[in-house]
Amino acid sequence: MLLHVRALTKAYRNTRNGLETWALNGLELDVYRQEFISIMGPSGSGKTTLLNILAGLDRPTSGELCLQGENMLALNADELALFRRRNLGFVFQDFNLLDTLTLAENVALPLSLDKRGGGDIRQRVDEMLHFLSLGEQMQRYPYEVSGGQQQRTAVARALIHRPRLLLADEPTGNLDSASARALLELFQQLNSQQQATILMVTHDPFSASYSQRVVFIKDGRVFCQLQRSSSQPQFFQSILDALAHVEGGHELA
């Protein structure tokens, strides 16, 4: 098991009336190595809060959170920053690339921050960009390439330090349909060929159909789960059916 989440809660207090709102309410989740998982749920279900806590950007009110046996909640700020940099990769809806750096320099940034040797950095960056079909664009700047190429650069940057877990937050949100499909196929390729473990938050059932397992969250808890055991079109239909149950509040049969 790679990620172990138990009885995770997150409460926000209203400063005006003192009332608490529970974004997470006893959520439990296990993620195994080399899984590609999608997290879905209605607005306000807690999926963004969960992702922020997994990313170390927020702290829960209570619960357990362990990655590769390491208790993330026991780390101080400096330890957590180092742990995040070495163990987690992030892909967001906004590409978050630096326009003053080339694609290669953007990808190299995590290794530079970790004070890796220059020769090792150049080799790793070259290999990653060529794997993602960006070798010919590596000396260009983000504003000189397409949105799909920018997002693939963001994926390369997220994976360059070989993280244990890749977290993706609505990664297709700013892409056209062709670029979105290409990115999702890339995730599948990274999962199968590079043994990447991916946890993706998405509202899009088509995107979720590329994953191996879909976890539906409602009211801060895991409501139900689907394991892919058929073709992608069939899995897509199963996800649509499950979403109807989630929104209606009925458990799956």
CATH assignment of the domain containing 118? 3.40.50.300
The 3 state secondary structure assigned to 49-114 is: HHHHHHCCCCCCCEEEEEECCEEHHHCCHHHHHHHHHHHEEEEECCCCCCCCCCHHHHHHHHHHHC
DSSP H or E stretch at residue 37: strand 36-40
pLDDT averaged over the chain?
93
b/e 117-131 (16+ beta carbons within 10 angstroms → b): eeeebeebbeebbeb
Q: What is the pLDDT of residue 118?
A: 75
Q: What is the pLDDT of residue 88?
A: 96
Percent of the chain with pLDDT over 90: 83
Q: What is the pLDDT of residues 137-162, one digit of tens each?
A: 999 999 999 999 999 999 999 999 99
DSSP H or E stretch at residue 213: strand 213-218
Residue 202 pLDDT exceeds 80: yes
- Is there a domain that residue 253 lies in? no
- Is there a domain that residue 75 lies in? yes
- What is the span of the domain harbouring residue 118? 3-248
Q: What is the pLDDT of residues 116-127, one digit of tens each?
A: 777 889 999 999
Check residues 76 and 18 and name the one with the higher pLDDT.
76
Domain tally, the chain = 1
Q: What is the pLDDT of residues 86-102, one digit of tens each?
A: 999 999 888 899 999 99
- Is there a domain that residue 25 lies in? yes
- Is there a domain that residue 101 lies in? yes
Q: What is the pLDDT of residue 226?
A: 97
- Identify whether the C-beta of residue 165 lies closer than 8 Å to the C-beta of residue 31: yes
Q: What's the whole-number mean pLDDT along residues 70-93?
A: 93
What gap in Å lies between CA 223 and CA 173, rounded to an integer?
A: 24
Q: What is the pLDDT of residue 252?
A: 57
- Is there a domain that residue 34 lies in? yes
83: confidence class by pLDDT, cuts 50, 70, 90: very high
6: confidence class by pLDDT, cuts 50, 70, 90: very high
The answer to pTM > 0.85 is yes
Residue 23 pLDDT exceeds 90: yes
Q: What is the pLDDT of residue 204?
A: 95
- Would you call 140 helix, strand, or coil by DSSP? coil
